[in-house]
Each structure stands twice: as structure tokens, then as C-alpha cells.
Structure 1
Amino acid sequence: MPEAGEVAARVAERLGTMRGAPVSVESARQLPAGASRATYAATLVDAAGVPEPIIIRAVPAAEDDGGLGAEAEVLRAAADAGVPVPEILDVGLGDDSVLGFPYLAMNFIGGESIPRRILRDDTYAAARGRFVEQCGGILARVHRIDATQTPGLDELVDPVEALHALFPREFDAMPAGLVLATQWLVANPPPSSPGSCVVHGDFRLGNLLVDADGVAAVLDWELVHIGDPVEDLGWLCAKAWRFGGATPVAGMGERASLLDAYAEVAGWRPTEEALRWWELYATVKWGLICAVQANRHLDGIERSVELAAIGRRSAEQEFDALLDLGVVSPEVVPDPLGVEATVPDEEPHGSPSSFELLDALAGFLRSDSVTAEMSPQVRFHTRVAGNVVDVVRRQVLLGATHAAESAQRLAALGVADQRALCDALRSGELDGTDEKVRAAIAADVRARLLVANPKYFAVPHP
């Protein structure tokens, strides 16, 4: 990624030229945890010494404008509709980009975006109390955005077919739990909404700035499109964005409260049936996006331990889909790493075993001597790396047993492997409503989740 100081200096020079007065850089840093984009925070200073904090969002690896052109148009239209959004200061997309890749420069809005802080810190207690009502009203205003101000947005007509079009490689290779969910979505379409509108596409914790009073700004409009308004409501309620919270709306409230608040501004109330359909749709979509992110790493487009780790999170989405379909139930499952276990024989390699070496590596990555002086971004990726090592440790312990048990289950269904299982489901050769088929799929999903994240079995699923 480009250095923050250089990025800020070039944008400052550009703003100075636009304003006809010099602008300098007081400080600049890259913000952590961006999987596909780079985000920089900088403080600029004008000729009078007045500080101006700004945010720069960029897509260094983009082959086109990285979606930032549409995002800039929508941000301006959203402001006109009364949605709290940052002000656009500069847009660099093509030859006019002073960075050599697409970027947006926006004014800084104070607030917190890290979900776990919003959900737990006392600072945001009052904000949590009004979050659901605020989001209902904000989304109603998002859906009032004048689409003529945002020409060229893609329209999502057939939601499931859109997933295939957006993620063809990942859709064709989706695991069996998501295949079952997709088939259910197709067979049980949701009640119709009054009409299509501008849809944010990624309205959730992590993309909202929250201060002590509530939602201060809606960020990250890169997935904006025309579609069904309930899509945004369902995405906000998706379990992936509750971050362990026990209630369905971002872990901070109930569905009925969200729908009531939305209706107060929008003038109509979506049904809970439609909302739950879009929640399951969100689960499938996020499962596919996990695979997209992993493929960016595997294909060498953007080598990243974070992207690699996200690939295994699709097991969480499979389990959530099976929960929605009534195939499994939440439960407490011990982490295999905390249970006395027999390490597989590794002759002739001797001691320490591969499992013991991985254990030493995990301990090293988590030690204070390693993490104490790290920047927040490097500390985040080091924590992810430690989690990846744990995944591999569990697979060392359980992989051979899981493989043998899965092969036995699949043979009983008359298929050779996971790919053949999914092909048989799609062709109708295997019936996805058959209890034996569902039991075999559930067992494989449990095996994948046990290795990837055993704590997830017990996460509430209201």
C-alpha cells in the first residue's frame, strides 16, 4: 500500500491548487483493517494555520475507478436526501488522479466505526438505545434518494441470479450449506415491496460512524445499486454484522422496532417475512464474498493474511443458513485446542511435532514482546495470523478423521466428493429437503466450523 504521508501530500497539493491557497500536511496515517481498499486519515493545515482533518479512500489495485465514481455521485445525492454523509472535497478517478489510482477525499466526521466498541463501551450507551430507531429513519431517507442524480447504477432485478452474475466463480463453487439456502430462496420468494429504489448495499455496523448521540454518518457506498429497499434492512440484521450481539438488529434491537421506525419515515412497513428472507439472502451473499476475498489472495491480486483467513469464515455462513432452515440449532462446542487430544503420528520427523511447532508460533504471535510496539494495523494483522495458526492446528488434529467420516457419508449418498454433492443438489439428483441429505450436509458444515471457529456454534441466533 502507498505510504500515508505521500498520499496526503499529493491530495493536499491538489486541494491547494483547487482553492488557490497553499495547503500543507500536519499528520497522516493509514487506518487498519481494510480488506480491499485503503483508507487514510490526515490533518491538513491552511495558510492561516487552521487544521482540517480529512479522510482519503483509495483503491490502489483497481483496474477501473474501483466504484468510487458512483460512490461520489451517491454521496452528494444522499446529502440532498437528508442522509448523514461526509462532504466530498475532491475526486480523482482517471487521468486526473494525483495518486495514480482512484481516490475520494472527504471531510472528517468524528465518531467510532469499530463494532465491538460501539456495542460494549459506556461512551455509546445512549447511542445504542436509539440506534435501531435512527437506522430505520436513515434507511428510509436512503431509499428516497433521487435515482436521476445517480445515473448508471446497476439494478438488482433477480436477487439470486444477481449473486451468480456478481460472483460467478464463487457461486458455482459454493459449499453445500449455501446451495441448500439458495435453493430455498428461489423456492420461497419474498413479498413484493412498493418499488425499486437506491439501495446502499452495505449498511451495517463497521460502515456507520457512531458518536455519543447516535449515528453520525453513513460510510462505504461502494456497493450502491438499484433494488428492493428491504435488502438494506436485511443486511443490517444479518448475523455476521451483530458481532456476537443477542438481538437481531446489529445486536442492539428487535426487528419490529426497526420496521416501525422505517415505516414512520417511509410511509409503508415491510413484513417480517420479507425481512427474514433478505437476512438469509445476506448470509448467502456474505458467504460468497468470503470466497471472493480469499480468491483475491490465492490469485495473487492482493496477498493478505486477512483475505486468506476470511475464506474459512464461509463455514459460519453455512451454519447460519442451516439455522435459518431449521436443520441445526445453536450449541456450546468445546474448542479442540482446549481438550486433551492425541496428535497424529508424524514418523519419521520426530519431536517437536508439527502441532507443537504451530503451538509455539501461535504463542509467539500473541506475546507482548511481539505486539507491544506494533502499529494498530500490524497488530490487527498479527492477531489474524494467530487465528489462522489456530485453524491449522485444529485441522492437524482433526483433518484426517473429518475427511474419512465425510467420505463415508458422501458414499452413502452416492457421490464422490463435495463438488459432486453440490452438483447433485443442483441437478435434482439429490433432494435438498431429504433428511438424510440434510444430515450429511450438516455434519460436514459442523466439521468445517469446528476447525474454523468453534466458538461460533454458541453465538445467539434470534
Structure 2
Amino acid sequence: MDEARLTRLRDWLAAASGDASLRIEQAQKLSGGAIQQNWALDVETIAGAQRWVLRTDSAAVLAVSLPRTAEYALLKAAWDAGVTVPEPLFLCEDPGVTGAPFFIMRRVGGTALGPRVVKDAALGGGREQLARALGRELARIHRIRPPRPDLAFLGAPPADAGLAVIATLRGRLDAAGTPRPAIEWGLRAAERSAPPPVPPVLVHNDFRTGNLMLDASGVTGVLDWEFAAWGDGHADLGWLCAKCWRFGNVAQEAGGLGPRKALYAGYETESGATVDDARVRWWELMAHLRWAVIAADQAQRHLSGEERSLELALTGHIVPELEWEILFLSEGR
């Protein structure tokens, strides 16, 4: 971040916080964030040193990604519902400050790096305890239900969340114009075997290893709310359990972090509802279909020249692996 933007940011934060003495000691771009940018801010205030994160858009964004104003509102709703999220602090809708709207949240400790966390069996108090904690977090998210005036930007819930996702993915494939027969096959298989709709809840839509800050004691923060929507809560369970988010630790079905049974147990204890395993398995197929379409879209961002990025380019190389899993999960449907 250049000096001019840092100066504008300091002035805005000073006004937003009511602290004219506020100083930004350091601003460092964090790794990751293929779709959004995150900046670690070390800030000196009248109350002492603060560790914050500024979250803003990358140069090119996915059409399905919510704007930062919406993500901030979701973070506030989750915070109020008792979900373990970084505390939301300030929202700036003026692109003139840093070049795009942004929000500030408190920085939390821990690590989220998928390949690292799946190798640490002691993380979060052990695999069973961590999986149960993840189930509890999802249950708290799913307590947020429509109608919610503060989340009006999410629109009306779909009549059938599963069929709505299938239609959306088909539309994106058609718009991309690249033949994807394995994905088309999987979408048809999912359509034939779709479970009946259930009452809608808030679905995080990206609750998976890599978006979960963890430390030795448990979950320190559920991150990245930009894909949230009204839908079937089983979609979040299926997304976390999808093989593509286990980072090689395939035996631990809950995101490579712990056993599926413990995840379900934590969810059921917190929610008082029984997890429908067959419905979760259907959403696992949908998870691979959705990630395959997103991965292809991200690769296209690089290929189109919109945002030249090695990370985006490499994402495109996982599509064949996802297609293989789609064919496997579609068998018999």
C-alpha cells in the first residue's frame, strides 16, 4: 500500500474511531485471498496497540462474490449469533480512501493454512474435539434465518436450494463456453437424485479448511463470508466434508481435520436437530461440482488477462481431479 493510500486510510480510521491520535505503524498484505485482499494493520491508538485486518477487493472479483458492505453485515450478524468470528469494527463504502470499499475487523490468532493444519493432530484439542467444535459453529450459523432486514441484500430464499444451485452452475458453464462433459454429467446426476427442499437458513457457503482460523485450543475465527446465502444448512456440512477440502488427509472426513461422526455430533448437540447423512452426501457431490466451476472461472481470470496470477493459473489445474471425483460420486444416482 503506497504512502498516499496509507495517509488517507489513517485519516479515515482516525475519524471512524474518534481517535485523532491514531497511527498506522505497519500495513502488510497477507498471503492467500485469491478473490479478496487482506491487509494486517498494526495500529497505535489512545487505548494502546491494536491488531486489525483490512479486507477489500482484489483487482478482479467473481460475480457471485458479495461486496464488502454485505460481508461486513454478515460478519456482524454472525458475531451477534455467537459464531466465533473476528469482531467487525468499521465499514468504509468510499472507494476514494484505498481504491475500493473495505472493512476493518479485529485480527485473531491461529493458523488457517490447509496443508499445515491437517497434519497437526493436536490442533484444536485433538481431532474429535476440533470436529465437534466445527459442528457447533455451523449450528450457530444456521440459527440465523430469514426474514432478516439487516441481510435484505441476500434476497428471497430459493424455493429449492439444491435445484437453484444446479441451475446457477449450468448457467455459468454455458456463459463460459468451454465444454465440460464430466461436470454436465454430474449436474444431471445431482438433478435426478436431488432431495426435497427444507426450510432455509443462512449458509456460509465456504466453511472449509483454509477459511477456519485454528489454534491449540480450538476455532479462533470463521473467515470469508463473501459467498453466504439462504439455503440448505446441509450444504455447509457437505462442503466441509468434500474430499477436495481434506488437503490429502482423506481419512479425516471433516475437512481433513477430524471424523465426520464427531462433526455431526457437535452439530446435533448445538442445534438439537438430527443431521441427514444422505442429504449431506448429496451436497458433497454438489461441493465438487461447485468448486470445479469456480476453479475454472478463477483460471479464466488469469487467462483473460484481468488478473495475472500464478495462484489463479494453478487453480485451473485441479479441475480434472475434481471431475474424476464428480464421476465417482455420481455413480448410481
Q: Give TM-score scaled by structure 1 length.
A: 0.65
Gaps in structure 2 of 5+ consecutive residues: none
The residue correspondences of 1:416-427 to structure 2 (distance < 5 A) are none
Which of the numbers 153, 162, 175 marks the counterpart of 1:169? 175
Query: Hey, what does 1:84 align to over in structure 2?
Result: 84
- Deviation digits for residues 319-359 of structure 1, max 9, x if unmatched? 111222349xxxxxxxxxxxxxxxxxxxxxxxxxxxxxxxx
CA 84–166 in structure 1, closer or farther in 2 if over 3 Å, else same: farther
Query: Compared with structure 1, are the counterparts of its residues 121 and 326 closer, same or farther at alpha carbon in structure 2 (3 Å cutoff)?
Result: same
Indicate yes or no: 2:108 matched with 1:109. Answer: yes
Q: Equivalent of 2:221, from 217, 232, 237?
A: 217
Equivalent residue in structure 2 for 1:203, among 197, 200, 207: 207
SS for the counterpart of 2:153 is coil
Q: 1:66 to 1:22 in 2, by over 3 A?
A: farther
Cα distance, 1:248 vs. partner? Answer: 1.3
- Partners of 1:23 and 1:99 in 2: CA distance: 17
* Paired residues, number: 322
Residues 57-456 of structure 1: matches in 2 within 5 Å? 57-61=55-59, 67-94=67-94, 97-121=96-120, 124=123, 126-147=125-146, 148=148, 149-154=150-155, 155-156=157-158, 157=161, 158-165=164-171, 168-170=174-176, 173-193=178-198, 195-245=199-249, 246-326=251-331
Compared CA separation, residues 122 and 285, structure 1 to 2 (3 A):
closer
Could you tell me how far 1:174 is from its partner in structure 2? 4.8
Q: Which residue of 2 aligns with 1:53?
A: 51
**Residues 123, 130 of structure 2: 8 Å contact kept:** no
- For residues 26-77 of structure 1, the C-alpha deviation after alignment (integer angstroms, 9 at most, x for no partner) is 12211112212111111001246x2111111110436899521111111111
1:10 to 8, 27, 34: 8
Contact 2:246 2:255 in 1 (8 A): yes
Once the 2 structures are TM-superposed, how far is the Cα of residue 190 of structure 1 from its aligned partner? 2.1
Q: What is the identity percentage for the equivalent residue pairs of Structure 1 and Structure 2?
A: 34
Q: Which residue of 2 aligns with 1:348?
A: none
Determine the C-alpha separation between the residues in 1 that align with 2:111 and 2:136.
20
On the 8 A contact 1:9/1:24 being kept in 2, the answer is no
When residues 66 and 12 of structure 1 are mapped into structure 2, their CA distance, relative to the original with a 3 A threshold, is farther
Q: Which has the higher helix share?
A: 1
| Distance in 1, Cα, partners of 2:33 & 2:305 | 17
> Per the alignment, do residues 235 and 4 of structure 1 end up closer, same or farther by CA in structure 2, a change over 3 Å counting?
farther
- RMSD of aligned alpha carbons: 2.4
- Per-residue deviation at 1:235? 0.6
Cα distance change of structure 1 residues 110 and 167 upon mapping to structure 2, 3 Å threshold: farther
Unaligned segments of structure 1, at least 5 residues: 328-432, 434-462
Tell me if structure 1 keeps the 8 A contact 2:9–2:97: yes
Change (3 A) 1:129 1:6: farther
Bigger Rg over Cα: 1
Equivalent-residue separation in structure 1 for 2:123 and 2:46 (angstroms): 36
Please tell me whether the aligned partners of residues 119 and 128 of structure 1 are also in contact (alpha carbons under 8 angstroms). no
Give the letter for the 2:135 counterpart.
G
Supply the distance in 1 between the matched residues of 2:188 and 2:268 (Cα, whole angstroms): 30
